[in-house]
Amino acid sequence: MFNKKPRRNFRQRKDCSSDDEDQPKKSEEGEENPEKTAPAVVNKPLKAAQSRGITCSSKREATPPKPDSSDGEDGESVETTEERDERKKDQEGTKKKETSVLSFSDDKEAEESTFKLKKSSEKAVLFQIRKKEALPAKTIVSTVNIPNAREIEAAKRRRRANRTQKEFIPLSRDGQSSAGSTPDHYSREDEDDRVDDDNELDDHERRIEFAPRMRSIRERIAEKLGMRGRDTEKIEQELWEETQIGKGVKRRPGEQRPINITFVHCAFITACCQNMQHTFPPIVHLTPPLCNFFFLPRLDSLKEVYRARQAELRRMEGDVEGAKTSLENLEESSSEKQLKFYRTMTTYVHNMVECLQEKVVEINSLELELHTLLSDQMEALLAQRREKIKEQADHLQQLSCDEESVGVKTEEDFDMAEDTQHSAEEQEQLQKNIADILLRSKAVFSDVQEDFCSVKKILSRFEEWRECYSESYHNAYISLCLPKLLNPIIRHQLLAWNPLKDTSGDFENLPWFTAVETFCHGHGHEELEHTDRQTLSSVIERTVVPKMTAYVELVWDPMSHQQSVCLTDVCHSLKEDYSIFEGEHTKPVKAFAEALVRRLRSCVDEDVFIPLYPKKFLEEASSPQRHFRDQQFWTAVKLLGNMGKWDLLLPESVLKELMLDKLLNRYLMTTLCSQTLSNNAVYACKKIADGLPPSWFKGESTCLPQLHNFRNHIVQKVHAICKQQPPTDPNTRAAVVDLLKVLSTIRCHDSIMAIAEKYHYEDAIYSHQLLNPETA
């Protein structure tokens, strides 16, 4: 870039020069640094007489010039700025032209006389000079004394002292007055920048910065602390004020000057320590309290980090110890030992499967023989009952055709039909056959070692596998294989268990159940870490539920109250304890539910029979027709109660269809509406209501649509009773209260309020909580 040439002092040429100055000089061209003077263009004369001329040099001459006379061309040669610029252009032009003319006059004087120096071997410079008037014979020299470096430095010190003492107000660089600012705000950098205007560069000679300049230490510290502009100036101002105040405080020798350190000072000093290799600014003197203030927080932070590192080290040491222990365990349990265990387990399972494949044939045979025996007995009993009912119905139908049969009397009185029972001889023969089957079943595993037929021994092998090699145990899905593997042995133990009888005992008392429960849930109330909690439920679904399904299809009599109670109790126990009937049903559970529905539907369609006779036979309480009709009615009521026990086990829609649509409205309501039950009508309504599942009415306030006929019959019965006898009669009141309780059970609150208002039974409503039966 352009470098500004320093201002030069031109001195007057002597009138005559010595011969030493007439030595040939070589002209040089080029650019120099701002500190150096610009090169002067000098002619190289061919003769000594032509060496006279005007020279420009910034170097100090060794001897002062002496006045001498010349050819009338001597004169003062002080150049102006315009003339200097013109000469610079002329010098640049000499690079392109073979001859160069150096002119000290304007273009309008170009026609004046010129003299031309003889062209040298290098360059020829043409001087175009102006005709000057005759000068006096002797001129006065203008002499300039240039100070040396020592004098310049002394002048700078005096100037700085004057600025400090506010002897004058300096002007800023832009020429504006800085009276608004005081010398208190100057810094060392400002002093260095305040040099003479003589050394400043012009705008066209300034260097253009193409990259960001290097920031000073203070600027970097300010950037580090997040401070800009005024924050940095504030820090410098406070530090300068502290320094000036400290200068005026008198201290004894050796005493340190106290310094008021603010948060900004602390941040500034800390940044200096981090960015200047812990060297503090010369204006700050650290004292012990100041060191504590600076370094104690840092020490506490380092201590906290040290404690965290110690804790991490202890944890890592624990991990290393655990890794060593695991490594030792892995080294002890070598692959050979594991391979040996797997081979042993494979051989054991293979032998057990072969054994069970042979024994399952015998177990199936015994189980089939037992089920066939019970099924034959039940079919014989059902056939006998059906035959008896048919014979009675045919006989009474024949009697109904004979008018003389009206006067026949009978002493029998029916309440609830009893369950059909085998005769004593048949029962004895049945028990004898069952005992023979159970005796032969004991010989099934008589030739088998206990390790292959005992559920406890078998599960101990798998428990060892689970403890030693848990990952491979779970990857092999052993919990899903165990129910199928143990199925033949458990079925063998369940041969004597009959879910339709109380005398057979609970299956939970059998040995297999205790072993499986311990394997799944641990010993006692403690649970093992790796437990197969679903294995027990899966075993029950695969063994117990199919056993119950077989009994439902072949042996169960839905008309039998005892069998129904035993079977439903087992099912509710499985639902509450093992969640068998909850959620999505498995295949064994679905098969069991379907068997139940088929059996109940078959019983309603084939075993329920209520005959119809002329009214004259039914009005006679002692007639055999009425007696047979009542017997069949109570059998249907008992079946209704037995079906209600399957609530929460079978779908609600299926139960409502069988109990309400078919059994109640098709058969029972016909008998109730005939008004031939006399005093037993109230009791019959109560038994029907008791047989309905309570879950149907929980949280309900209205009657079910399927029960509207039953509700209407009860309301008519209440009105009939109150017409026959006064409502205040104790017997009438007791009968009416019983019927109101039935209406409360089926949630007929509107009918209850209507009857209470009509016959003044409001007190009975509140005394028996008829409107809130759930809280009664």
The per-residue pLDDT of the chain, averaged, comes to: 75
User: CA triplet 82, 7, 192: central angle to 5 degrees?
Assistant: 135
Q: What's the per-residue H, E or C state across 487-525?
A: HHHHHHHCCCCCCCCCCCCCHHHCHHHHHHHHHHHCCCC
**Has residue 3 got a pLDDT over 60?**
no
**Has residue 586 got a pLDDT over 80?**
yes
Indicate the domain borders of the chain.
331-399+423-554
d(CA 263, CA 280): 16
Consecutive H or E run containing 99: strand 99-103
Q: Convert the pLDDT of each residue in 733-770 to its tens digit.
A: 999 999 999 999 999 999 999 999 999 999 988 888 88
Instruction: Supply the pLDDT for residue 675.
Output: 73
Neighbour tally for 269: CB within 10 Å: 18
Among the residue ranges 142-151, 165-174, 396-405, 613-622, the one predicted with the least confidence is 165-174
Q: Convert the pLDDT of each residue in 265-277 to its tens digit.
A: 555 555 555 544 4
End-to-end CA distance of the chain: 111
> How much is the average pLDDT of 286-303?
77
d(CA 506, CA 496): 11
- Joined together, the tokens standing for residue 627 give 């007696």
Residue with tokens 């109101």: 740
Q: How far is CA 465 from CA 25, 462, 549, in A?
A: 112, 5, 34
Q: Convert the pLDDT of each residue in 418-451 to its tens digit.
A: 666 778 888 899 999 999 999 999 999 999 999 9
Label the pairing between strands 124-128 and 115-116.
antiparallel
Among the residue ranges 30-39, 342-351, 514-523, 593-602, the one predicted with the least confidence is 30-39
Q: Convert the pLDDT of each residue in 333-343 to its tens digit.
A: 667 788 889 99
**In terms of Cα–Cα distance, which of 416, 418, 414 is closest to 626?**
414
**pLDDT band (50, 70, 90) for residue 691:** very high
